[in-house]
Structure 1
Amino acid sequence: MIALAGIVFTFIMVFGGYLLAGGKMGIILKSLPFEIMIIGGAAVGAFAVGNTFESLKQTCKDTLKVFRGSHWKAEDYDQLLKLLFQLISIARKSPVALEEHIDKPSESSIFSQFSKIQNDAAALDIICDTLRSASMNYDDPMQVEELLDKKIDETKHHREHSVHGLQSVADGLPALGIVAAVLGVIKTMGSIDQPPEVLGKLIGGALVGTFLGVFLAYCLVAPFAIKLKATVDDDINFYRTIKEVLVSHMHQHPPKICLEVARQNIPHHFRPDFSELDEALKNLKTHA
């Protein structure tokens, strides 16, 4: 919602200020469709040249995250800690009993309590592979932490592809605006024999290209890239929380200590309250 409000505010301030200063919208509106075609078409075409069709679709899909925000919310961190508490508690008591949950998480009675996590392939991959490796005595905390860092960094790199794509478009838009403006000047020079009032409108139309390229770059696309990167970082923090719990588990800390270490590393705007989480874990333990 804040992103949409920011866009509306930007348009009101820019064009409202222009109108209050005595500007005329007629020239802008008349030139806008053609300038959008030149600048937008060139931007999309250049992006397509440097990327695959799948990347183009993924970028369009990821752009919606600017308005939706992070995939993981505060309540999801709370659910994650409850899930991991149950899993590592079972792992301490009976590693054999854990196998039915990590081998087939889609059929697990524990994972089924947390459907959002159960449906996330990256989260399942980290949780199940790590616990499965630990059951096979691959439980060196330092090696496990290094392996998880590499896996999370790979996921982060893949998800930031859309960020880099949008940023590259933002970097190129001012230059594409100049391309549109130059074409407008060429058009104007072809009508050099026209009276000043006609030439004035043609030159004004040409300058719309320069304005549009800069406006789109710095008021829309670049902020989209910044917001998308922040959203990706928030999503990746969810997987880092999983890593913190599992590495602490490898160090043979008690389950509640494992969760507290992870909880302290969760970003403050997502971090569950200690007392509420502790009470929830007691209830889980009672019904286990």
Structure 2
Amino acid sequence: MDIFLIIGVITGALAVVVGMYVKGANVSVLLNPAAAIIIIIGTIAAVMNSFPKKEFLKIPKVFGVLFREKKGLDPCEVIKQIQDLAQTARKEGLLSLEQVIEKIDNDFMKRSLNMVVDGIEQDYIREVLNIEIETMEERHRLGASIFTAAGGAAPTLGVLGAVIGLIGALGNLEDTEKLGHMIAAAFVATLYGIFLGYVISHPFASRLKRKSHEEISVMRIILEGVLSIQAGENPKSIEIKLVGMLDPKERLKITQASGEKSGKGE
């Protein structure tokens, strides 16, 4: 479970409640079933109208990906592993990697190395692996687009809910006390819609895109690393190439590790 995400959602909700309390607003006005029905059911309907059935039914799985704190591969560890594989391949030949492949946990790396060991041409391997990466990227983009659609619909439905509430309020102009309460309740729908759109849905879409980016970045490192092993490149040259695919903070980590290793060697 991704506790940090849950903390973020709770913090957003608390910000609204505490803000209303500080401003002197009656917090109990947030308990508005009519507004909740308009926003939640309306947003679900908007998403249903935006995607075909088979994609809509994948939403629970997307939530699972979102809230599951899956420990991704450390790109620095992947580069180190590729260097070790390159060293083995240079010393004992590509066929020697057969003994190592079974011990590798990452399925993408395992498939990549199996194709290399099987003697498949480099251009074909690159094409196959790029197709796999692009397919995964498209699948992830779909998951994020569901939340983007919800984030676009919810605030507009909030305005719709406010209009419906005001229509009801204008029908009770003779009761001043009730009128004020109904107007306040009418704008709760707008609050719900903005909260669902800009504190929940759009941030969830951004988080899914970020998770996808991290996973695909590691896959591209594996792709280039495995093809470099097949080409018989020097392990140090492979490290230099792959480190260039990292962000500056990750590069610094590898540089420091290499420096420590050199120091111990001396």
Provide TM-score, normalisation by structure 2: 0.80
**Identity, % of aligned positions:** 21
The one-letter amino acid of 2:87's match is S
Aligned equivalent of 1:156, options 120, 126, 137 = 137
Contact (CA 8 Å) 2:141, 2:209: kept in 1 or not? yes
Q: Distance in 1 between matches of 2:107 and 2:10?
A: 36
**CA apart distance, 1:57:** 2.0
**1:239-279 deviation per Cα after TM superposition (whole angstroms, max 9, x unaligned):** 11112212333443212321332123223344442353587
1:115 equivalent in structure 2 = none
Indicate whether 1:24 and 2:26 are aligned. yes
Aligned equivalent of 2:155, options 174, 177, 185 = 174
Indicate whether 1:37 and 2:18 are aligned. no
2:83 equivalent in structure 1 = 85
Indicate whether 1:58 and 2:88 are aligned. no
* SS state at 2:122 partner: coil
Q: Distance in 2 between matches of 1:225 and 1:148?
A: 26
* SS state at 2:244 partner: helix
Deviates most, 87-96 or 207-216: 87-96
2:189 equivalent in structure 1 = 209
Q: Distance in 2 between matches of 1:157 and 1:200?
A: 49
Q: Spell out the pairing of 1:81-120 with structure 2 (5 A cutoff).
A: 81-92=79-90, 93-102=92-101, 108=102, 110-111=103-104, 118=105, 120=106
**1:83-115 deviation per Cα after TM superposition (whole angstroms, max 9, x unaligned):** 32343334332333333554xxxxx2x42xxxx
1:14 equivalent in structure 2 = 16
**CA apart distance, 1:217:** 0.8
**CA apart distance, 1:38:** 2.4
Structure 1 stretches lacking a partner, 5+ long: 103-107, 112-117, 284-288
Aligned residues: 256
Structure 2 stretches lacking a partner, 5+ long: none
Indicate whether 1:260 and 2:263 are aligned. no
**1:52-80 deviation per Cα after TM superposition (whole angstroms, max 9, x unaligned):** 25421222112215xx3x7425xx33432
CA-based RMSD: 3.1
Indicate whether 1:184 and 2:165 are aligned. yes
